């Protein structure tokens, strides 16, 4: 199974494609972040996210997409912008005919680190180890996206076993 994890953000939108082989081994196919300029108009930024995610989907052919669920935001304006980015990410997946799964930050951290209140550096460290990477993924948004994909792979595997 191959999953595209997306970490939505107003400045950087992280992405990571992870594949789980039959033996349970995880493999990172690609990761990175879509850098957005705050000087660019919001519709243009959203268009760039949609286009670049479409390219990643076309290149890596994920089976499913996973994104972080909405969380509490201190600022209403930031929450609205984040919601717009999430909507565009979901639209990119839906346009490609892919299912989208959503996970809370607590669930993602618990799945990858074993502790729901883990720091970003702990998540990055565990992602590096789980994927057997030579260097930690940068920027942090890329490692967060990989963590989202890993969370979905673990969750989907458990659900398949329960159904069987």
- The domain spans of the chain are 2-163
CATH number, domain 2-163: 3.30.420.10
Select which of 7, 19, 59, 102 is catalytic.
Answer: 7
Q: Is 63 a catalytic residue?
A: no
pLDDT tens profile 116-139: 999 999 999 999 999 999 999 999
102 classed as catalytic: no
Q: What is the pTM of this model?
A: 0.94
Burial of 30 (0-12, 13-18, 19+ CB in 10 A): middle
Active site residue 59: no
Pick the catalytic residue from 59, 64, 141, 144: 141
Query: Which tens digits make up the pLDDT trace of 94-119?
Result: 999 999 999 999 999 999 999 999 99
Give the separation between CA 64 and CA 66, rounded to whole angstroms. Answer: 7
Mean pLDDT of 9-21: 95
Catalytic residue among 59, 68, 99, 132: 68
């Amino acid at each position: 199974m191959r999953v595209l994890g997306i970490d939505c953000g107003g400045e950087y939108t992280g992405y990571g494609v992870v594949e789980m082989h039959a033996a349970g081994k995880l493999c990172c196919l690609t990761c990175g972040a879509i850098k957005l300029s705050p000087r660019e108009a919001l519709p243009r930024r959203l268009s760039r996210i949609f286009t670049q995610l479409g390219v990643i989907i076309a290149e890596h052919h994920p089976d499913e997409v996973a994104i972080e669920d909405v969380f509490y935001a201190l600022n209403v304006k930031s929450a609205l912008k984040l919601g717009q980015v999430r909507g565009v990410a979901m639209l990119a997946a839906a346009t490609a005919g892919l299912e989208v799964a959503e996970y809370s930050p607590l669930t993602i951290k618990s799945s990858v680190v074993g502790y729901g209140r883990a720091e970003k550096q702990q998540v990055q460290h565990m992602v590096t180890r789980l994927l057997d990477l030579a260097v930690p993924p940068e920027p942090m948004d890329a490692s967060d996206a990989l963590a989202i994909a890993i969370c979905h792979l673990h969750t989907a595997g458990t659900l398949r076993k329960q159904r069987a």
